Amino acid sequence: MGRQKKELPELNSSSMADISFLLLTFFLLTSSINTDKGIQRRLPPMSDPSVKPPDIHRRNTFIVLVNKDDKLLFNGELGDINMLKDRAKEFLANPSNKENLPEKEVKELPLLGKVEVSKGVISLQNDRGTSYDMYIKVQNELTSAINELRNELAVTKFGRKYVDCNNTQMEAVDKAIPIAISEAEPKNIGGTPAAKTGGK
């Protein structure tokens, strides 16, 4: 009499599929997806050709040009990427109320009271040949300038960093220090820009 072959029990694969689906759903719902990336800019509304744009005093505009060779020009002077953040901060804050830096408007803001809000605008213009790497570096420096100003105000007014403030406090700081960056459509700026002291 031969040995009888022992049958192995079958696994119910349908329940495994259900468990896998539930695990996948659980991880999707509980995982935090970092969406705070990219460049935050609000595009201006479409302009009405019949409406004349408001005049902006020259002192209220900080012009940043980036040419096709990735050279920087700050208000007509050659600059370096490592100088951009500090120059942008000084321009927007105008701590010494210099006459060649932006005017300020006193506003009554929630939680902050009377605050001097800068009328300064940073005007950014890139060449079509500007490298993507340089474009991102410039954007990062300008964003860092605004973030540092917001952080300094939050620490002064609320005793905490901007990122640690609640939504209401953040909104107040945002109104006191808005993102005042105007980006023009890229155009052909040319080669090495000429500084005030040399070239044409």
Average pLDDT, integer, range 132-136: 92
Average pLDDT, integer, range 64-73: 91
pLDDT, tens digit, for every residue of 162-189?
999 999 999 999 999 999 888 887 877 6
pLDDT for res 30 = 75
Please provide the DSSP assignment of 59-123 as one string. GGEEEEEE-TT--EEETTEEE-HHHHHHHHHHHHH-TT--TTS--EEEEEETTTEEEEEE--EEE
Question: What type of residue is 40?
Answer: Q
141 burial level (CB within 10 Å; 0-12, 13-18, 19+): buried
**Can you read off the two tokens belonging to residue 58?**
């020259």
Kindly indicate the confidence band of residue 119, based on its pLDDT and cuts at 50, 70 and 90: very high
Q: Confirm if 39 and 45 have CB atoms less than 8 A apart.
A: no
d(C-alpha 46, C-alpha 155), whole Å: 37
Beta strand 181-183 pairing with 121-126: parallel
DSSP annotation of 38? S
Specify the pTM.
0.66
Residue with tokens 């830096």: 101
Give the up-direction half-sphere exposure of residue 143: CA atoms within 13 A in the CB hemisphere: 11
Structural domain spans, the chain: 58-183
d(C-alpha 176, C-alpha 108), whole Å: 10
Phi and psi torsions of 105, nearest 5°: -120, 125
Cα three-residue angle 134-136-139, rounded to 5 degrees: 110
